[in-house]
Amino acid sequence: MFNIERWQEIFEAISKNRLRTFLTGISVASGIFILVILLGAGRGLQNGIEKQFERDATGIIVAWSGTTTKEYKGLNPGRQVQFRNSDYTESVRKFDDKLELRASSYDFWGGAFAYGKESGSYQYRGVDPDYSGVENVTVVQGRFINANDLAHNEKVACIGMKVKTDLFKDKDALGKEFSINKINFKVVGVFTDPGGEREEARAYLPKTTVQRTFGGGDKISNMFFTIKKTKDYDEALAQSEKFTQDLKDLLKSKNIVAPDDESGVGVYNSVKDVKQFYDLNLYIRLFFWWVGICTIIAGVVGVSNIMLIIVKERTKEIGIRKALGASPFSIISMILHESIFITTIAGFVGLLASLLLLEFVGPMVQSEYFQHPEVDFSVALTTLALLVFAGAMAGFFPAYRAAKIKPIVALRDE
């Protein structure tokens, strides 16, 4: 129930001690300000990390060949292992029921691209159709490489936006022919990649076409797999680790590599990185919440100390109220109102200032690992509710102490 006299008392008490109230409010406002800024910064770090993971499919498993370091079955160390189509075909055949995406590639890191008078050096890769999912590309025009392209060794290409812009400028690239090392290819698609310009400075061609056209025979550079998703992370990790080991054993056996030779055949399991990503985000959030709450507690302790001083100053007044019949609840309510009012107003100011800072300054921060710092509205409400509760706690103990004072003792206070 609204009590005008109670609010008049609160404003009168505040007006008598303006500087003290202002400094107390500053400590509370700075606490909530720091908490929200830290939470926003934590979200910015999380967004940046998520952006890095967007570059490729989540939970990708990559296999590549290397150089042996151990003698095995009469073969000397230092032998270069070369994956071939049969390695990929056998891997897919054996593990097909476990796989979601499967692809292989034959890579060239530099090729002379030309269209009309425009030219440049870009990467090109022969790939399978699922490679678009592995690399997490988005085809914005046309299509990606398909099974028909591989079956008929079509000389077609899906080019990155960087290649399109450099060679074709503002012209429509679809259906146009350009050359790679003086061999013509028709553009069937244009893609963008979350990895940005570096990833878009390449062209994807049918793997069989690249092998035949550029003298690759049946060689492949890498194999890429993702396994079917499960709801439980620990189960997914266990399945991916088993698949990784089984794939490694298969490829080592097929290429006559010692079982304990880690250099001849390499397999990388990014599912472990997903776990590290979620753990890192959790630790960041917990750390920022801890620092922010400690800062708020410091401000609330200041409010509590001020309320203790107020109770001491108003001891005789409290004694008179009790002598006239005021209940302990009314005494507690009087002190609590003032405490909650100060912390709520100061907290709202700190919250508003922090949200405005994130809104206007956040977009100006440009970093690969820190993007779009922000705080969800629900989190902002949570911090405000937390502050109101803290303000109540800050005032309760001084108020309870005031309610316990005996009238005769209070009237004797000097």
Summarised one tens digit per residue, pLDDT across range 148-159 is 999 999 999 999
What's the burial of 169, exposed, middle or buried (CB within 10 Å: 0-12/13-18/19+)? exposed
Taking alpha carbons only, the member of 268, 339, 257 closest to residue 304 is 339
Name the average pLDDT for the chain: 81
pLDDT at 161 over 90: yes
Cα 402 to Cα 46, 103, 312, 315, 393, distances in angstroms: 47, 75, 8, 7, 14
User: pTM for the full model?
Assistant: 0.59
Question: How far is 134 from 178, CA to CA, in rounded Å?
Answer: 26
Cα 379 to Cα 28, 36, 129, 237, distances in angstroms: 18, 9, 43, 31
pLDDT at 140 over 90: yes
pLDDT tens-digit map of 320-371: 766 666 676 776 677 777 777 777 787 788 878 887 887 777 666 666 556 6
> What pLDDT, on a 0 to 100 scale, did the predictor assign at position 1?
46
> What pLDDT, on a 0 to 100 scale, did the predictor assign at position 181?
94
* Average pLDDT over every residue of 80-86: 94
Q: Which two tokens stand for residue 123?
A: 């990467």
Going by pLDDT thresholds of 50, 70 and 90, the confidence category of residue 50 is: low
DSSP state of 79: P
> What pLDDT, on a 0 to 100 scale, did the predictor assign at position 11?
66
The alpha carbon of 202 is separated from its chain's Cα centroid by a whole number of angstroms, namely 27
Helix, strand, coil percentages in the chain from 3-state DSSP, rounded to 5: 55, 20, 25
What's the burial of 412, exposed, middle or buried (CB within 10 Å: 0-12/13-18/19+)? exposed
pLDDT at 277 over 70: no
pLDDT tens-digit map of 362-399: 666 666 556 667 776 777 777 777 777 776 776 677 66
